[in-house]
């Protein structure tokens, strides 16, 4: 209620506490009331009057075009893929201009046909070893990343190696040795 009174132009407000201890505010006097003077509410004018007319705004210089973005998001540089023959990843292309199609290469071989419109790709049948993936787009300098594919050897087991065992307590000299 005080807020409502404060929004009015300079006003007189009466405040009192009743027999139950409840504080009241009113614009009507009460025998127990204390008279309060409330100052005018602070207001701010509209900024519309200070804005330039729309014709002047249209004459402002056009914002510069955003710089083109062409980057390989994944795989990350130095990433190692284990026990796979295919890699998946993603590229980000932005502001490269219409008609500028990206070229994605793996070790110099064009694999752009594996690149989807949303930027994702899966390259099948990648041999084990170290590889370089590059992205080029006309008018945009793309990045190149290196990654590795590692396979277990043909003679190796397909089980995960066990953690080393904790060494036993030291033995006294000559104990547990054969002569």
| 24 lies in the same domain as 78 | no
pLDDT of residue 111: 92
Residue 175 lies in a domain: no
pLDDT digits (tens, 9 = 90+) for 99-126: 778 888 999 999 989 988 888 999 998 9
Residue 103 lies in a domain: yes
| 30 lies in the same domain as 98 | no
List the Cα angle 166/170/174 in 5-degree steps. 135
Predicted structure pTM score:
0.48
pLDDT of residue 5: 47
Residue 12 lies in a domain: yes
The ranges of the chain with pLDDT < 70 are 1-10, 40-65, 154-179
pLDDT of residue 44: 62
| 89 lies in the same domain as 140 | yes
Structure tokens at 108: 């110099």
| 33 lies in the same domain as 91 | no
| 77 lies in the same domain as 34 | no
Residue 54 lies in a domain: no
Those residues whose C-beta lies under 8 Å from the C-beta of residue 97, and which sit 6 or more positions away, are 68, 138, 139
Residue 53 lies in a domain: no
| 74 lies in the same domain as 118 | yes
Expressed as residue numbers, the domain containing 8 is 2-38
d(Cα 161, Cα 159) in Å, to the nearest integer? 6
| 76 lies in the same domain as 139 | yes
pLDDT of residue 6: 46
Domain count, the chain: 2
pLDDT of residue 164: 57
For the chain, the C-alpha Rg in angstroms (whole number) is: 39
pLDDT of residue 106: 92
| 131 lies in the same domain as 77 | yes
């Amino acid at each position: 209620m005080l807020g409502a009174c404060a929004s009015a132009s300079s006003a007189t407000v009466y405040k009192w506490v009743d027999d139950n201890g409840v504080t009241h505010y009113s614009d009507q006097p009460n025998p127990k009331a204390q008279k309060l003077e409330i100052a005018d509410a602070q207001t701010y004018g509209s900024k519309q009057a200070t804005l330039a007319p729309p014709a002047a705004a249209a004459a402002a210089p056009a914002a510069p075009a955003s710089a083109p973005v062409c980057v390989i998001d994944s795989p990350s540089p130095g990433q190692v893929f284990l026990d796979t023959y295919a890699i998946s990843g993603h590229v980000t292309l932005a502001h490269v201009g219409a008609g500028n199609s990206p070229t994605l290469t793996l070790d110099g071989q064009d694999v752009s046909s594996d690149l989807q419109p949303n930027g994702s790709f899966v390259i099948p049948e990648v041999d084990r070893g170290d590889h370089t993936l590059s992205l080029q787009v006309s008018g945009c300098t793309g990045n190149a990343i290196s990654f590795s594919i590692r396979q277990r050897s043909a003679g190796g087991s397909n089980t995960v190696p066990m953690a080393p065992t904790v060494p036993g307590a030291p033995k006294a000299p000559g104990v547990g040795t054969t002569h």
